[in-house]
Amino acid sequence: MQEIKNIAKALSSFQNECPVIQKNSDGYGYKYTDLPFIVSTISPILKKHGLMFTQSVFSKDADFVGVKTLIIHIESGEYFESEMSSSISKNRTANKMNEIQAQGSIITYLRRYSLSSILGIVTDADADGYAQRESKKDIENNLKAEIEKCSNVEELKTIYSTNENEFSSNPALMTALTTRKEALAKLFKK
């Protein structure tokens, strides 16, 4: 097993300094960070920490193209490597291109994602994760509003039983439910 002490330290320093790289290009219904933008953003930071990268293309057969990415610690020669590959004929976008265009498109894609992956680069926020956090917050707010509308304990029980998973994973909802139940109890004691 190769020694990785120097590259690990340099890569950690790089990752601490590398900003979240904003998505700057439009694809077919999505945004992405293009390779030149990634390279221009990371190159000075890599250099500062004594790192460099190289990427080479390989092919297993006429329908398969891949990229091998190496991150090298310049002073020690320690390195990390990663390979990614893809079928040309199974690539949805590539089917609209001639063979050379398809290979070029896939190579660029593989270079972008393998470089981002091996360096631990973040490009924008995780849209799926953000949407989930938002929807959980929306669910919590909606349930809290429903709890406040309840005029008796039976209505509270119905909300709880139909949303038990939400209540069991969210202490704030349980607090809102208990608080409303206590308020209703005081209201009916008068």
Q: Quick one: which of 111, 101, 99, 104 has its CA closest to 37?
A: 111
Among the listed residues 100, 64, 63, 67, the one whose alpha carbon sits nearest the alpha carbon of residue 82: 67
Task: Please state the pTM of the whole predicted model.
Answer: 0.62
Which positions ≥6 away from 161 have C-beta within 8 Å? none
Question: In this predicted structure, which of 28-37, 44-53, 80-89 has the lowest mean pLDDT?
Answer: 28-37
- In percent, the amount of the chain with pLDDT more than 70 equals 87
Which of 77-81, 96-100, 171-175 is modeled with the greatest confidence? Answer: 77-81
Q: What is the mean pLDDT of the chain?
A: 84
**Residue 180, CB half-sphere, CA atoms under 13 Å: how many?**
23
| 133-158 pLDDT per residue, tens | 446 677 788 888 888 888 888 888 88
- State yes or no: pLDDT of 49 exceeds 70: yes
**Angle in degrees, CA 152, 157, 158, rounded to 5:** 100
